[in-house]
Structures are given as C-alpha cells and as structure tokens.
Amino acid sequence: MELFEVINELEELVDSSPRIPMTRRILVDEERILEFLDRIRTAMPEEMRQAKWVVQEREKVLSESRKEAQKIVDNAQKEVERRIDENEITGKARETADEIIHKAEKVSWDIKQGAHEYADDLLRTLQEKLDRVAAEVQQGRTELKSIKPGS
C-alpha cells in the first residue's frame, strides 16, 4: 500500500504549496515532484508493469490485424472490379454510355451550328443597316455638293 501513501504525500505537497495570486496556479518544488514520481514508479506493483506491456502488445497485434484486414479487403475489391469488368452488364453500360456521348456530341454540334447561324443573321442585319446608313450619308454628301453656296 506504499503507492497510496506516496500519492497522499504528493497531494499534501500540492495542498501546502504557495499559490500565485489571482490564478489557480501553485508553485511546487520540482525536485520533490520528481522524487515522488520515482517513488511511485518504484512502488508500482509488477502486475501494473506487465499490464502496460500487455496493452502495448495488444495494440501491436491490433494494428497488424487491421493492416492484414485492409489487405484482404483491397484484394477482394480488386477481384470484384475485375469480375465486373468481365460482366455483361458492363458491356451494356458501355453501349449506353457511347449512345449518350454520341447524342451529347450531336446536341453540342446543333447548338454550335445554331449559334453560328444566329451570329451570322445578326451580322447580316447589321451590315444591311450600315449599308443603308452609308448610302444615306453618300446621298447627303451628294446633295451638299449639288447645292451651290449663295443660292
């Protein structure tokens, strides 16, 4: 029961240590704390040291088991993927995908063609208006030249 005695002494040290004003902190002698820790380690039963070792070994085994399980899952996933690729459903899915892609490309071409036609119509209309304006400007200039100053 020496372990509990050391822990009680450590608690007394904390309780009797001076406090820093306006905080919940205390000043503790470092050497005394380290001495208590050494005494605790010495007083710990051998079973506790063995339990720590057992826990560490268990963690190693669990880690290795997880790695092995992940390898098994990865291999199974690869096998499933390989089998799916060989499956008839995959072939049909590819055909459907090809059809969808073909339709999408046609729709895309139709949209581009429509956009080109629309742009061409706008430009043609603009050119016609500009031609009319140019003709009106030319007509105005001609009329100005025919008018003699002072008449």
Instruction: Give Cα separations from 39 to 22, 30, 50, 51, 126 (angstroms).
Output: 33, 14, 18, 19, 98
User: How does pLDDT run across 21-59, given as a tens digit for each residue?
Assistant: 999 899 999 999 999 888 888 877 776 777 777 888 888
Instruction: Give Cα separations from 72 to 41, 62, 65 (angstroms).
Output: 42, 15, 10
If pLDDT is split at 50, 70 and 90, which confidence band does 87 have? Answer: confident
Pick 50 or 94 by higher pLDDT.
94
Computed over every residue of the chain, the mean pLDDT equals 87
Mean pLDDT of the 105-109 span: 94
Is 44:3 a contact under the CB 8 Å cutoff?
Answer: yes
25: left (phi over 0), alpha (psi -120 to 50) or beta: beta
Pick 55 or 107 by higher pLDDT.
107
